[in-house]
């Protein structure tokens, strides 16, 4: 398993941005991440504790977690989008061909070692993820926000 902590942190940052602001107001930002344990073992649980926005010093420790997902397309017969975790991490059991429930299992918790993994040369994956208290008025789910993640290989 290729564990890419930087990619996971980028996904968390994007998720935080999408959950906190309407799509038209999306802007990137620099942040630092507080997690435990330290030092982290890339094969075990790495729990997100907070994120501090560099420009404002604002510390965020309450997160909107993914509570629903819809697979729009997911490559060919195997991946590219699969639910994965560190070899000794707890949480979602790895699923090579991600399902809506496995995506929620991977992204609906604060374990940075529960991820959506991609495989090389397997086509395209499009997954809509939903948040309970989102702010997207055009969402098809009442009171929820939709974010689309597109992985292309």
What is the domain partition of the chain in residue ranges? 5-152
User: In this prediction, what percent of the chain has a pLDDT beyond 70?
Assistant: 63
pTM for this one?
A: 0.70
Structure tokens that stand for 61 in this block: 């420790």
Residue 18 has pLDDT above 70, yes or no: no
Strands 66-74 and 124-131: antiparallel
Distance CA 135, CA 25 (A): 12
Per-residue pLDDT at 74: 82
Whether residue 116 contacts residue 82, with contact meaning beta carbons closer than 8 Å, is answered with yes
Long-range contacts from 22-26, C-beta under 8 angstroms, 24+ separation: 22/135, 22/136, 23/136
Look at residue 59 in the predicted model and tell me its pLDDT. 95
* Residue 145 banded pLDDT, cuts 50, 70, 90: low
Alpha helices in 86-128 (DSSP H): 100-107
């Amino acid at each position: 398993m290729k564990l890419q902590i930087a990619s996971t942190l980028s996904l968390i940052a994007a998720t935080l941005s999408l959950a906190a602001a309407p799509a038209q107001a999306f802007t990137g930002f620099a942040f630092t991440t507080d997690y435990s344990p330290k030092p982290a073992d890339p094969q075990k649980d790495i729990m997100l504790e907070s994120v501090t926005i560099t420009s404002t010093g604002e510390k965020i420790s309450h997160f909107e977690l993914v509570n629903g997902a819809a697979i729009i397309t997911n490559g060919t017969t195997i991946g590219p989008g699969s639910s994965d975790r560190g070899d000794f991490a707890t949480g979602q059991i790895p699923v090579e061909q991600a399902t809506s429930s496995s995506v929620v299992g991977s992204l609906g918790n604060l374990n940075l070692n529960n991820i959506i993994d991609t495989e090389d040369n397997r086509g395209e994956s499009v997954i809509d993820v939903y948040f309970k208290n989102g702010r997207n008025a055009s969402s098809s789910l009442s009171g929820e926000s939709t974010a689309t993640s597109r992985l292309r290989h």
